[in-house]
Amino acid sequence: MKILVTGGAGYVGSHSVRGLCDAGHDVVVFDNLVAGHRGAVDERASFVEGDLGDAELVRSTLANGGFEGVLHFAAFLDVNESVRDPLKYYVNNIVHTVRLLEALRDAGVKRFVFSSTCATYGEPETCPIREDIPQAPINPYGHTKLAMEFAMRDCAQAWGLGGTALRYFNAAGASADARIGEDHDPEIHLIPIVLQVALGQREKVFIFGTDYPTPDGTCIRDYIHVEDLADAHVRAIESQPPGVFRFYNVGTGQGTSVREIIDGAREVTGHAIPADESPRRAGDPPALYADPSKIKRELGWSPKYTNTQDVIRTAWGWHETHPQGYADR
Ligand code: UFG
């Protein structure tokens, strides 16, 4: 199948591009390289350097490309930044995505897979989280992702869009062969920050909140390996029926605390990794972990990585060999 991948030079996007190429698909990556890296794009894929805000380029790429499907990763993802600068998120994550959907409609492309997030659930009262609990995001980032889920549902009804929203939990790890991995600037995610401490690039990691109502007082998250996320995308686009809106949690089903991540990284790396306790970060729910039974049942997906230690080990394989990220490639 010929597939366009927006944001295919980013973290989850680049692993998914590789998964699509491995499965024999013909892949074109569309990325402005603002957050993505040219070196992350699989050599088997073609590359268009372009901005999703360039509606004409998006339209002509889709109109003339002969695509059967689109995987849409290009988006901003920093929750704190979304609180400070919501319109940046509304423009990129909603306006540009709506324009992309228009271009799909006009080009007759009916398969669409969208990066949604567990942030659309807000602060759920109980875990594991099933897809049918109410979605009540608590920040602009989550609002923008939920808005696009609504748009996909409406387009499925109105003109037969086939859309799948994959609600990721915490994407983590790197490719098993350490060829591609996580490289954000600035880095905001726990595992890469902890590994930067192990590499001596940061003095210590700050634990954001130790008074949460969890067994060790720190936040619990569901760290899903990026190659398992990629596999979910491949299955979603391959199985996508037209005119149907689907939505799935993509997580392991297991919760891991911040302290457990730091301890795990100490074991994997053999480094001390100094950690300081610091106040809570605004907007962090105490616990978020998935009930992934729906995607297991309907798409036959299941995570290969069920042990957080193994996830950290792949991340370490990447960070150790690429201490400056893609600048080292
Ligand atoms: N944390 C620290 N210290 C750090 C960084 C993070 O203690 O230096 C903690 C956070 O407070 C949180 C946990 O580690 O409890 C994980 O934080 P991340 O920033 O790695 O990930 P988040 O859970 O905040 O964010 C992820 C996705 C978002 C998504 C969000 C939904 O990256 O895109 O889950 O809650 F919106």
pLDDT tens-digit series, residues 135-194: 999 999 999 999 999 999 999 999 999 999 999 999 999 999 999 999 999 999 999 999
> From ligand 1's centre to the CA of 311, what distance in Å?
16
Q: What sign does the dihedral 307-308-310-314 (CA atoms) show?
A: positive
pLDDT tens-digit series, residues 298-320: 999 999 999 999 999 999 999 99
Verify whether ligand 1 is closer than 6 Å to residue 205 (CB atom).
Answer: yes
Domains of the chain: residue spans and CATH: 2-172+223-250 (3.40.50.720), 190-222+253-321 (3.90.25.10)
Ligand 1: which atom is nearest the Cα of residue 141?
Answer: 36
Q: What is the CA radius of gyration of the chain?
A: 19
Using alpha carbons, select from 41, 254, 239, 267 the residue that is nearest to residue 129: 254
pLDDT tens-digit series, residues 83-99: 999 999 999 999 999 99
Query: Which one of 194, 221, 289 would you pick to mutate in the ligand 1 pocket, going by the greatest count of ligand atoms within 8 A of its CB?
Result: 221
Name residue 129's beta-bridge partners.
Answer: 290
> From ligand 1's centre to the CA of 240, what distance in Å?
30
Q: What gap in Å lies between CA 104 and CA 69, rounded to an integer?
A: 9
Residue 109, both tokens: 């492309």
Placement of tokens 């049918």 in the chain: 132
Q: Read off the pLDDT band of 283 (50, 70, 90).
A: confident
Q: Apex CA 9: angle with CA 229 and CA 305, to 5°? A: 20
In 209-252, the DSSP E strands lie at 220-221, 223-225, 245-250
pLDDT at 328: 76
> What are the helix (H) ranges across 1-139?
11-22, 55-65, 79-84, 86-89, 96-107
> Going by CA atoms, what residue is nearest to atom 31 of ligand 1?
119
Residue 63, both tokens: 């109109």
Residue type, 96: H
> From ligand 1's centre to the CA of 2, what distance in Å?
34
Cβ–Cβ under 8 Å, residues 72 and 53? no
2: left (phi over 0), alpha (psi -120 to 50) or beta: beta
* Residues with catalytic function: 141
pLDDT at 282: 85
Q: What gap in Å lies between CA 78 and CA 90, rounded to an integer?
A: 13
Task: Report how far apart, in Å, the C-alpha atoms of 321 and of each of 127, 196, 309, 325 are.
Answer: 36, 12, 18, 9
Mean of the pLDDT values across residues 255-260?
98
Q: Are strands 69-72 and 2-6 parallel, antiparallel or unpaired?
A: parallel
Query: Which one of 118, 149, 208 would you pick to mutate in the ligand 1 pocket, going by the greatest count of ligand atoms within 8 A of its CB?
Result: 208
For residue 277, what are the contacts with CB-CB under 8 A and spacing of at least 6? 206, 207, 210
Residue 234, both tokens: 């491949």
Cβ–Cβ under 8 Å, residues 236 and 186? no
In 90-183, the DSSP E strands lie at 111-117, 162-168, 170-172
Check whether 329 has a pLDDT greater than 80. no
pLDDT at 39: 97
Cis upstream peptide for 137 (omega within 30°)? no
Mean of the pLDDT values across residues 219-242?
98
